[in-house]
Structures are given as structure tokens and as C-alpha cells.
Amino acid sequence: MNELTPIEAYCAPQLARAQKRSRRQVAKSLPLDTIIEGDCIAAMARMPDKSVDMIFADPPYNLQLGGDLLRPEGSKVDACDDEWDRFESFAQYDDFTRDWLTEARRILKDDGSIWVIGSYHNIYRVGSLLQDMGYWLLNDIVWRKTNPMPNFRGTRFTNAHETMLWCSKSEKSKYTFNYRAMKALNDDLQMRSDWSLPICSGGERLKNDEGEKVHPTQKPEGLLYRVLLASTKPGDVVLDPFFGTGTTGAVAKRLRRRWIGIEREEEYIAAARERIEMTLPLDESNMVTMAEKRSAPRVAFGLLVESGLVPAGTVLMDAKRRWKAVVGLDGSVKCGEHQGSIHQVGKLVQGAPSCNGWTFWQVEEKGELKPLDIWRQRHLGGL
Amino acid sequence: MNELTPIEAYCAPQLARAQKRSRRQVAKSLPLDTIIEGDCIAAMARMPDKSVDMIFADPPYNLQLGGDLLRPEGSKVDACDDEWDRFESFAQYDDFTRDWLTEARRILKDDGSIWVIGSYHNIYRVGSLLQDMGYWLLNDIVWRKTNPMPNFRGTRFTNAHETMLWCSKSEKSKYTFNYRAMKALNDDLQMRSDWSLPICSGGERLKNDEGEKVHPTQKPEGLLYRVLLASTKPGDVVLDPFFGTGTTGAVAKRLRRRWIGIEREEEYIAAARERIEMTLPLDESNMVTMAEKRSAPRVAFGLLVESGLVPAGTVLMDAKRRWKAVVGLDGSVKCGEHQGSIHQVGKLVQGAPSCNGWTFWQVEEKGELKPLDIWRQRHLGGL
DNA sequence: GACGAAAGTGAATCTTCGC
DNA sequence: AGCGAAGATTCACTTTCGT
């Protein structure tokens, strides 16, 4: 039998209600881990408000370079070359974009986030509309292709990147960003806004029986791996309204996220189903990532004094032994005329705007100075 | 007698012809090689139709900054909070942008081109408006900063790039693109749409008598060097409507292009005048400052995990099988209570001052232990 | 003067919780 | 809602200072 902490006991009744409510609302209307066949605007319209944690969208890039521009209802726009018609095309692309982003916004949770990938043909339309609609741009991420197609005619720079826009639903959203995991993935340096990754080719690229590629713009799994690891938690619901051959679904399944795909083309759907069927989720024991310190429970310094881990009378010093402070019975510390919390006193003696007492103050152990934070870790480990 | 570099040799025949043509046509109406003091919209309004060959614009970014930002050690970030970067809304910023782009379009020659640089705060507004107005997007160029400011709070990806949009006046324009010069500049490989360059600092960064930077956002000359070399011919007229401290003018003079700058702030104008005065044209100038850093992105261990080459869950051992560690989703590894990068954990388990995880950790393959470095080599080979 | 340690800095939409 | 306190957080350079 499990012991409940006071906080857990307090929350338990609400938790049960919320889970039941959540299951009731969502289970019947959210088709988890499946592909919905049809137009994404219509399909999203059938989904409940604020029900998905993250959206990854790879919409048609559109426009003048031979790619078809499709109206929301699916008919094809005739390509025209004169200026008036070009304006018409942009306007129609904008309408289409506004429509699907509106549904996406409605079904996205308030603390959810959205990614949209595109090239220079469409990404400036998308970015501008995202901002107009109240989405809050967090980063624009450059996917730097290590092996792009050259510009055969030598008329421009080799178009060697695509752009992803990452937005929270609003400025105040508490979006998910797994900072430590991203830092770990990049050899202990902050992950930057430019990512170098090869395009999808070789064994990863889906081919049909004739050896032709099934989808013209299949994205590499490495890209989605990073996107999902950065901005979702295990179990989160990820929606891809332009599912194609299901890269988002395959990586989501591998990383134990839930996924929903929407796709119109039967051929893509069939390929995606087979692909995801064959994908295995990672073993739960291998789902380890660097934990965010922010989500660890707070520990009051007084608790360590109370438990005897850092007894009253212990002498604290900063790393350079410029200041010494003594721990009081109540977890306050005293340094000369300053008295207060470890943070307060650290701040005052330095004359700094703020101070994290856990890392500022050190205790001598076997002749070595070690930050107080070590004792906090021991305390957390002992719980 | 001077030896000509390949780039100079390429440009030489055009030089004489272009300079002669340029002097004849333009000299009487355009204030060449000077700075116009005042608002750029009003100043452009006084210039004749179709009179400049290229426009480089570094408009306000509309950063929308909040309060102060402190570094971890407590010092304050010197933010770009100048009055000229404050706009009330996206709509107001769009109006401003549309207004200056309209004048720019009028005075640009039909076969001319325009560059606009920005960050995610403004570039999607600018790109969308450029397209709406009939400009034809040729490339979006990513300036990948080799030494960006970190994200001090760990809240997002490090914002490590800015974007330049390069447009011709219309789809049918015969714009200038010096393909071979760009290829020569890039070790005989096609120049890509992503450029790695350091930010402007050191001796190149203009300081006032108090040692403060004169302009908050001075661009590196290396950036303008590429822009001008790619899209103008010697003798061409280059306009910079947001001249600042005159990087465009300095590089234009060095590359023997004609230039016009428009700037409102007297302090910037004075600094720009002095700077350009001191700049020498091509032959005599010291080309060393143009050296570009072509820092090849290092291989992070996380990349091997992401790509599936060393999947999460893989067991690592040291050569004598004293320690075992397991690879996590984010490329962190875990060995007992230690978790972190391959280097960190290798260091901790040995109690050593440092450790090269690539050679310390081994993976068993066909009964044999092989150092991780082998997988790094395989990855590099596969790129 | 040479060398190493320490301080300074760059277009930045940069926290969260409880009262 | 606004406030105060707790607590989390940096990379690649250049310049300055001390020995």
C-alpha cells in the first residue's frame, strides 16, 4: 500500500475527477494513434477544444514553381503568371493557411505549442499569419541540409535549408521545453536555432514497388526526433494535420508519445500505416533524459537543518572563502550583521541583485568545499 | 604590378565599362558616395525613378523586449532598447515597412535587387509584404552566427541566426548574380543559402570615446562583402536606407561600388563618415579582415543517438569492463548515480580531472569492444 | 614583455510560486 | 492583480589585469 504525501492526499479527489472528465471528453472524440482520412480542416473541426499538446505541420509549400496550390476543398488552382493572378494565389494560400491555423488554434491546449515547416515560398506567409492570429513565436529553427540539391543552373545560391516556426499558443503560455535534454543532445552546449541534418534518403526513404519515392517531401526522422524530444513529454498527444507518409507518427510512437495524423491521399496513408506498424516503441527503461531541475520538488533549507543533514552551527562559506556564515536552528543563516535565508544573505554580502544560496554557499567536507546543493540532492535521494 | 585574385580577374573587364556608364547616367541626379541626413522615406522620395542597382536594408527589428535581462553572474545585458526600434503594433510596423518598401521599389532599377535583413521578430512581416508588393524572392539567406549570445535562462533554443531576404524587382528581372565569384569564394563549391560568420566585435566594432559601442547592431563587414560581391558589379550604385555606422558604405568603397546612405542619427553619421574616409578601395586594402570562419559543426554524441547509429539503450563500457553506462534518449548517459555527457560521466566514474568520452567508452560489436569514436567516423562518412 | 587568470560582452521577444 | 522571495541560468570571444 502506498503512503500519500499531504499534498497528494489534498489533490487526490480532484485528480480522479479530472482524469475521469478527461477520459470521458477525449477518449470518445480523439482518435489516438490513428490516421484520419480526409481534409485536415474538416477533420480538425470534429475534434474538441484544447485537446492536443503539440501540433507539427508540414503544409503544402505551394506556388509558382510548379507545385500545385490546392484550395481548402481540394480543387486545383490554375497556375497563372501575371501579377494580378500571382496576388490572387498568395491571397488564396493565405486563406487556406488562416483556415487550418484557426482550427489548429482551437484544438491546441493553452499551454501547447505548434511547429510549422516551410521554405521561402510559403514560410513568410505562414509566419506573418501566425503572429496576426496571436500565436507567440518562440524560435525560428533553420534546418540546415548537409546534402541539399545543388542549383543546377547557377542562377541563385544553393537552396540549402528549410525553416521551422515554433510558437506557443499565446505570449503567456507555459509551453514545454526540455532544455536539459536538448543541451545533453548537443554535447552539453545549449541547442542552437540552426540544426544540421541530412535530407531523408537511403533506407529511411519510403519507395513503392516501382522503386519510386512514395512522397515527394518526406522529412527525416532525425528532425522529428528533435522536435518531439524538445517540446513534448511522454504520453503527450501530437497532431500532424499534413501527415503524408507518417514521419511524425513513427517518431512519436518510438518516443512513446500519442499521435493523430490527418491525410487525404490513400497512397500516403497506406504507406504510413505499414511504416508505423513496423516501428517499435523504445523500451521504457531506455526513455531516460536529463531531468529538468524545475520539476524537482522544492526543498526548504530548514528541512535539512531539521533533519540533521546540515545541523545548526554548520559553517557555510562561498567558494573563495571570502565570507563565512553560520546556520541557525531555524534554517536562517548569519554572516556579520546580515541574517536571513541562504539566498537573502548570499545576495546581501555580495551586493548582488539576486543569489541562489544552494550553489553560492559551500560546506567543507574532507578538506574540500562542496555546494549546499549536494546536501539537497542527498535529501531528495533519501526520500 | 599587382597579381589579380580570381575574383578580381572575373570582375575586371566589367569594371571600366560599368564605371563609364555609371558616371554618365547617374552623376547629375544622385548624391553618390554621400550620407543623406534624415528620414529614409522622405529622402528616397526625392530620388529619381529606377536609379539604383541594389538596395541593402537593415531596418528596425521591432524586438518587443520586456524588462531587464540579467546574466547568471548578475550583470545586465545591454539591450537594444533604442527609441527607433519601438512600434505600437504589428499593424504599425507593417505600415512603416510598406511605406519604405514602396519608395525603394520606385527608385530601384527594373533589373536591380534588394536585400533586407531581420530576425524572427520582423522578417516574416517583411517577407510577406515583399511578396505582396510584387518583389520576387530569390533566396532567403541564413546568417549563422558562430558566436551568438546564449539564452541565459534556458527557456528556448539559442537564437543563433538572422535572416536576409534577397529579391529581384519582379519575376522577370535580369538580376545580377555573380555565380562564379561566389563559387570561388567558397572553395569552388556552390555558395549555399546559409553563411557562417562571426558577429561584429573586436577591432571592427566602432566604439566612442567612452569605449561604448556606437551602434547597438553594427553588422560585420564579411556579411556585406558577400552580399555586394554576389549581387552587384563594380561601379553599381548601392543604396542603404538604414545606414547606421556605414558598413554598407565601407564595403562598397572597398569593392569599388558607388554608395548612398540615409541615416537619421547624427552620431551614427559622424562615425560612418570617419570610417568610410579611412577605408581604402580593393587593391590596397588589407583583405585579412575578410577571412571567414568556416567552422565545421562538431559532431555531438546526441547526433548519433538521434540518427539511430547509437540508439538509446545502448550499453557502453570502458575498455576493461569496469563500468557500464546506458545511453539515454537525449544522448546523456547514465552509470549508477552519475548522469551527463559521455565526457562528464567518464570523468566522474574514474575520478579523473577530464575524460574524452569518444575514446573512453566502448561498444560491444560481434563480441569485440570498439571505441565510440568508430561510430563518429561512420557518421562523418555517411554525411 | 610574456603569459595566464579574470572580467567583459553581443538585435534577447529569457521564471515560478505563493500570498 | 501585483508583489516578494525562491531559485535557475551562459557561449565564444575580446580585453584587462596581475604576476
Give tens-digit pLDDT for A72-110. 455 554 443 444 434 468 999 999 999 999 999 999 999
What was the pLDDT predicted at A84?
Answer: 41
End-of-domain residue from the set A286, A320, A351: A286
End-of-domain residue from the set A260, A286, A312: A286
For residue A9, being part of any structural domain is answered with no
Interval B307-361: pLDDT, tens? 889 999 999 999 999 999 999 999 999 999 889 999 989 988 998 878 889 999 9
CA–C1' distance B202–C3 (Å)? 21
Return the residue of B nearest to A123 by Cα: B124
Do both B281 and B343 map to the same domain? no
| Interface residue A147 vs chain B (CB under 8 A) | yes
Window from A64-68, A131-135, B205-209 with minimum mean pLDDT: A64-68
**Mean pLDDT, residues B207-213 taken together:** 94
What was the pLDDT predicted at B66?
Answer: 86
Q: What is the share, in percent, of chain B residues with pLDDT greater than 70?
A: 88
A132, A156, A233: best mutation site toward chain B, by most B Cβ within 10 Å?
A156
Residue A383 pLDDT class (50, 70, 90 cuts):
low
**Mean pLDDT, residues B193-214 taken together:** 95
Three-state secondary structure readout of chain A? CCCCCHHHHHHHHHHHHHHHHHHHHHHCCCCCCEEEECCHHHHHHCCCCCCEEEEEECCCCCCCCCCCCECCCCCECCCCCCHHHHHHHHHHHHHHHHHHHHHHHHHEEEEEEEEEEECCCCHHHHHHHHHHCCCEEEEEEEEEECCCCCCCCCCCCECCEEEEEEEECCCCCCCCCCHHHHHHHCCCCCCECEEEECCCCHHHCCECCCCCECCCCCCCHHHHHHHHHHHCCCCCEEEECCCCCCHHHHHHHHCCCEEEEEECCHHHHHHHHHHHHHCCCCCHHHCCCCCCHHHCCCCCHHHHHHCCCCCCCCEEECCCCCCEEEECCCCCEEECCEEECHHHHHHHHHCCCCCCHHHHCEEEECCEEEECHHHHHHHHHHC
Do both A221 and A128 map to the same domain? yes
Interval B257-281: pLDDT, tens? 999 999 999 999 999 999 999 998 8
CB-count exposure of residue B135 (10 Å: 0-12, 13-18, 19+) = buried
**Mean pLDDT, residues A327-356 taken together:** 93
A171: the nucleotide nearest its CA (via C1') is C13
**Mean pLDDT, residues A159-176 taken together:** 97
For residue A173, being part of any structural domain is answered with yes
Name the average pLDDT for chain B: 89
Proximity of residue B148 CB to strand C below 7 A: yes
Interval A234-244: pLDDT, tens? 999 999 999 99
Chain B residues whose CB is inside 8 A of the A144 CB are: 142, 144, 194
What was the pLDDT predicted at A368?
Answer: 82
Find the helix packing angle between B247-254 and B221-231, rounded to 10°.
50
Say how far apart CA B18 and CA B237 lie, in whole Å: 10
Do both A115 and A167 map to the same domain? yes
**Mean pLDDT, residues B19-31 taken together:** 60
- Structural domains counted in chain A: 2
Chain B residues whose CB is inside 8 A of the A287 CB are: 312, 328-329
Proximity of residue B240 CB to strand C below 7 A: no
Residue B380 pLDDT class (50, 70, 90 cuts):
confident
Do both A305 and A277 map to the same domain? no
Comparison of pLDDT for B312 and B15, the residue scoring more: B312
Question: Using the beta-carbon criterion (under 8 Å), do A157 and B130 form an inter-chain contact?
Answer: no
Do both A147 and A226 map to the same domain? yes
Say how far apart CA B131 and CA A370 lie, in whole Å: 59
Q: Which residue is nearest to nucleotide D11 (CA to C1')?
A: B150
CA B42 to the chain's CA centroid: 29
Do both B282 and B306 map to the same domain? no
For residue B25, being part of any structural domain is answered with no
For residue A23, being part of any structural domain is answered with no
List the CATH number of the domain containing B208: 3.40.50.150
For residue A19, being part of any structural domain is answered with no
Residue B187 pLDDT class (50, 70, 90 cuts):
confident
Say how far apart CA B165 and CA A292 lie, in whole Å: 37
Do both A236 and A323 map to the same domain? no
What was the pLDDT predicted at A226?
Answer: 98
Query: In this structure, how many other beta carbons lie within 10 angstroms of the beta carbon of residue A176?
Result: 17
What was the pLDDT predicted at A8?
Answer: 38
Query: Which residues are CB-contacts of B383 (< 8 A; sequence separation ≥ 6)?
Result: A146, A147, A198
Among B159, B171, B301, the residue with its CB nearest the CB of A187 is B301
What was the pLDDT predicted at B22?
Answer: 54
Proximity of residue A138 CB to strand C below 7 A: yes
What was the pLDDT predicted at A76?
Answer: 56
**Mean pLDDT, residues B173-186 taken together:** 90
For residue A73, being part of any structural domain is answered with no
Comparison of pLDDT for A345 and A369, the residue scoring more: A345
What was the pLDDT predicted at B294?
Answer: 42
For residue A149, being part of any structural domain is answered with yes
**Mean pLDDT, residues A183-211 taken together:** 96
Among A81, A127, A184, the residue with its CB nearest the CB of B331 is A184
Residue B10 pLDDT class (50, 70, 90 cuts):
very low
Say how far apart CA B357 and CA B350 lie, in whole Å: 12
Residue B371 pLDDT class (50, 70, 90 cuts):
very high
- Alpha-carbon dihedral B35, B37, B38, B41, rounded to 10 degrees: -20
Q: Which bases of strand C have any atom within 7 Å of the beta carbon of a protein residue?
A: 8-16
Query: In this structure, how many other beta carbons lie within 10 angstroms of the beta carbon of residue B379?
Result: 16
What was the pLDDT predicted at A80?
Answer: 39
Give the distance from residue B154's alpha carbon to the nearest chain A alpha carbon, in angstroms: 6
- Work out how many CB contacts closer than 8 A connect A with B: 218
Say how far apart CA B200 and CA B198 lie, in whole Å: 6
Cell numbers 572563502: residue: A321
- The Cα-based distances of A350 to A336, A345, A354, A361, B69 in angstroms read 13, 8, 9, 12, 19
Do both A314 and A238 map to the same domain? no
| Interface residue A167 vs chain B (CB under 8 A) | no
B329, B341, B378: best mutation site toward chain A, by most A Cβ within 10 Å?
B329
What does the angle CA A122 – CA A128 – CA A131 come to, to the nearest 5 degrees? 140
Do both B327 and B201 map to the same domain? no
Cell numbers 563559387: residue: B183
Chain B residues whose CB is inside 8 A of the A141 CB are: 157
Q: What is the share, in percent, of chain B residues with pLDDT greater than 90?
A: 75
Give the distance from residue A379's alpha carbon to the nearest chain B alpha carbon, in angstroms: 14
Say how far apart CA B86 and CA B65 lie, in whole Å: 9
CA–C1' distance B265–C18 (Å)? 47
Do both A117 and A249 map to the same domain? yes
pLDDT at position B296 over 60: no
Comparison of pLDDT for B4 and B81, the residue scoring more: B81
Say how far apart CA A305 and CA A191 lie, in whole Å: 38
Do both B155 and B52 map to the same domain? yes
Interval A358-367: pLDDT, tens? 999 999 988 8
CB A115 within 8 A of CB A169: no
| Interface residue A151 vs chain B (CB under 8 A) | yes
What was the pLDDT predicted at A61?
Answer: 86
Residue A258 pLDDT class (50, 70, 90 cuts):
very high
Residue B207 sits in which domain range?
A: 30-65+81-286
Give the total residue count for chain B.
383
Say how far apart CA B1 and CA B6 lie, in whole Å: 16
End-of-domain residue from the set B226, B256, B286: B286
Name the average pLDDT for chain A: 88
CB A269 within 8 A of CB A263: yes
Do both B246 and B371 map to the same domain? no
Cell numbers 497532431: residue: A239
For residue A294, being part of any structural domain is answered with no
CA–C1' distance A303–D2 (Å)? 29
pLDDT at position B3 over 80: no
| Interface residue B302 vs chain A (CB under 8 A) | yes
Q: Please, how many CA atoms are within 13 Å of residue A42, restricted to the half-sphere of its CB? A: 9
